[in-house]
Chain A
Amino acid sequence: MSVVDRQEWDVVVVGAGGAGLRAAIEARERGARTAVICKSLFGKAHTVMAEGGIAAAMGNVNEHDNWQVHFRDTLRGGKFLNQWRMAELHAKEAPDRVWELETWGALFDRTKDGKISQRNFGGHEYPRLAHVGDRTGLELIRTLQQKIVSLQQEDHRETGDYESRLKVFQECTVTRILKDGERVSGVFAYERETGRFFVLQAPSVVIATGGIGKSFKVTSNSWEYTGDGHALALLAGAPLLNMEFVQFHPTGMIWPPSVKGILVTESVRGDGGVLRNSEGKRFMFDYVPDVFKEKYAETEDEADRWYDDPDHNRRPPELLPRDEVARAINSEVKEGRGSPHGGVFLDVSTRMPAEVVRRRLPSMYHQFKELADVDITAEPMEVGPTCHYVMGGIAVDSDTAAARGVPGLFAAGEVAGGMHGSNRLGGNSLSDLLVFGRRAGWHAAEYAQGLTQDRPPVGDAQVDAAAAEALRPFSAEAEDVAGPPENPYTLHQELQQTMNDLVGIIRREGEMEQALKKLAELRVRARRAGVEGHRQFNPGWHLALDLRNMLLVSECVARAALERTESRGGHTREDHPSMDRAWRRLNLLCRLSDPTGSLAATDPVRGQISLAPETTDPIRPDLLALFEKEELVKYLTEEELYE
């Protein structure tokens, strides 16, 4: 069986969104031969759906902004659970990463004096988001894509081959990270078009696969978001952290049903849109939590004045961090003050002239017009929470993006954990991709270059095992021991419903226990997921393989959520409604129960994931000094403050 095609590269990047492409550019510029593998066509990654902007304290619109303020906002947004060194690097380096994009041809919206314009967003003290209307993600992905093409053009001039130093393997899926002992030795993948298997041998692998939203029924995420990178890392022996923290974006479309979950950008609120309930009340004023009390307006008048005079007024509560707004909407609906289709109203039509709406929010205007027959310049939108982002992810070293315990494995972007703590601020994702994508590419290249004489080999046995695993769905019917073959689409729908209903925005102990039982049942049934047809571009087969990843990741979320008996950021427990300062220092690490990475023994009761709590490093004193003592006492325990 080991007649699988093999190629050698220095660095393999899995994923071609913002983080993956930025990593690939960096690795190639530092001299590493770099391959990128992505499930979709080059340039279609989920990053294109990011709308609002890239957070970077350039101070173009408000000169008071600087990295310290951005750092503070990020920690507040994450409720101080953030891996603080990541938040520090992120705040310091984001402006350089944005300016660099301009030198690659990006065209951001401008200020009157010709600089990059910056807009307001939830949780950011000053206008901070570099943007292009409401299609910033598209601009980001296109700029990185075109930069890659320009590097390929350089290589073509020198070597006669566009792909001699940087190649994109598009529409290919990685199913296993390969290892030699402890060290990474490459990846095993299949080509979606032909179903053909291949191996890329490389000492460095960067995982940049994004998130896990497709395990939930209502989500803003695309089909690619099946938690592949999270699962690949687990299977390779690297731990995941903070998986209980899942961000529900407060404003997704809710009507008609077929578009439920599609994102409505936060820029709608940043630019002046307000949330109202069925009684016409701006309810967010009732939901400002204690930790944010002094920072948000108490009256509509003050909130409205803030847009023009932010130095003398406090910001509107519609711009609280996303977790707060999502919970508030959830409560309003539950109290019976929701909109006809079970959400609340988000209105720009009474707040700005139609022509301003069309100019500042063109994709939103288009999206509602085309998909819901709603003219947002004339009537309010109906919105509700949608699963949007996972704060948890692969545990990484802050400076190098290296995954813990697996030499040669790196991770950046949404798939990496720690940066955003318990809740991510809008706009901090695109900057995260750039800052840590670059760092991952840099250190992956450096690590590979240090191993020129001693490259880890790829053993045939691992390749054979990976091939057998990938072919399993075709023989599911033949080896039925426990029942008939299962339809992968049905299994996926049941998984999404389970996570949505039982491990969703508001969580309860009993429901999560129920979810774990259901996941165990699905796991056993997924072993019998069978497919029709052959290996050539077969979506049923692809889904059957993705199910392994979604089930692993869902179990991580459910187990960690059950364990954390407090509410913080993207983890809300009805049975433990308040934030507990003692939990702040604790990260929950998820590891595979069977360290060999084999999934054969799927004990339905014990599950596949083991949890271990870990105390985090104390925040560096000079960073703590950026906050007032009165604020710190809300988050830190007495002994931490004393230290």
Chain B
Amino acid sequence: MNKVSKDNFTQEKYKYGFVTEIESEKIPKGLNEDVIKLISKKKNEPEWMLEWRLSAFKRLENMSVPKWAKAEIDEIDFQDLYYYSSPKDFKEKPKSLDEVDPKLLETYEKLGIPLKEQKVLAGVAVDAVFDSVSVATTFKEKLNEIGVIFCPISEAIQKHPELVKKYIGSVIPVTDHFYATLNSAVFSDGSFVYIPKGVKCPMELSTYFRINASETGQFERTLIIADEGSYVSYLEGCTAPMRDENQLHAANVELVALDDAEIKYSTVQNWYPGDENGKGGIYNFVTKRGLCKGKNSKISWTQIETGSAITWKYPSCILRGDNSTGEFYSVAITNNYQQADTGTKMIHLGKNTKSRIISKGISAGKSSNTYRGLVSFHKKAKNAKNFTQCDSLLVGSECKANTIPLTENSSNSSSIEHEATTSKISDEQLFYCMQRGLDAEEAQSLIVNGFCKEVLQKLPMEFAVEAQKLVSISLEGSVG
């Protein structure tokens, strides 16, 4: 093993780090009312939306950046960022792919997300968001036939204002915390999904976020509503070019499940993590929250977090409906100087509500990986149940893993089960596998994939294999 050099493993690295040479149109740097008005105008928004944004902005003036995360964050100058960037001449979303700039199509092709419908992954509809705008949505008509709305949120604001008005901010209030409120003020695009009563969405819905422009923050907003008895599985993927600067990504995702509805939300987060010395990379400060509003509803979060310089996110479930279920399955991998502070909150409000948390943290290099979770049972949450399992795997001896599970219990008939383990990939394990013919990388990836298989299996089939590869690639350079 001492003969295996690190250089053998650095060839593949971050393969999405390219920049698309496309002229972009940006709103001048800075955060102020004029910028917000300009964003709203660019999006052709109705008055109520602008007012909502401005009310968030007013709140923001009295808020400060949250500090709870176990991460070292360079101070961000919010006046020195671009809040809106779109490919030039992109006044209106193209009606068909023939009108889309070939450079954009090429970009998504390179990322493995072909947008031409004859080429797309079978059974997956894609909304492609490039910097601040949605550039294409596939299979829209087909979904329309069964009443499923899948479109950019900017379009939904105009075409389905009653739905947006009713649900936006209903899960993440404009007053929530600094980044969520910032997003409410300046969000540019994102996806909107509405599944009508009783409809099981026949295909995976997917949004692919791409940051391209420099010095630009991406603030997308996603809103998914599953009406009574409906089902949807949704997946988001993200990548960004390799740059020396840190770029900010502060998204808000709100999910609402009504009676007997189910939402499965999966994320494969592969933002640029910075180089091996910790330079550059995305600051991923994201607020994701689901509301199990109706009885027997279910929301399930699955996340594979491999990218970003700093990840800071806690996809959560508010279990208001009786008998509702919340799930959180997470694999968070950090290498080199990456920092991840991630976990979930399960807020049990209704009777017989259940939640399940499976978190697998893998740290390598000099990285730091923290699970932070809260399970809370309110007074009325009779017979509520939670199961939490947090496992950490350390690769090498310079990385850190922390587990911070909090519980609040005001219900005396509820139960919480908690298990936690920390283990290390041992030299013995690697040697054993190598003695049987696997090279150092194969051996490590076998062990790591075994460690997080329980979570990877929760991903939609089309993406499980891809995720497995991603897990292996993310740890490259950490053995030897």
Q: Do they bind each other?
A: no
- Using a CB–CB cutoff of 8 Å, the interface residues on chain A facing chain B are none
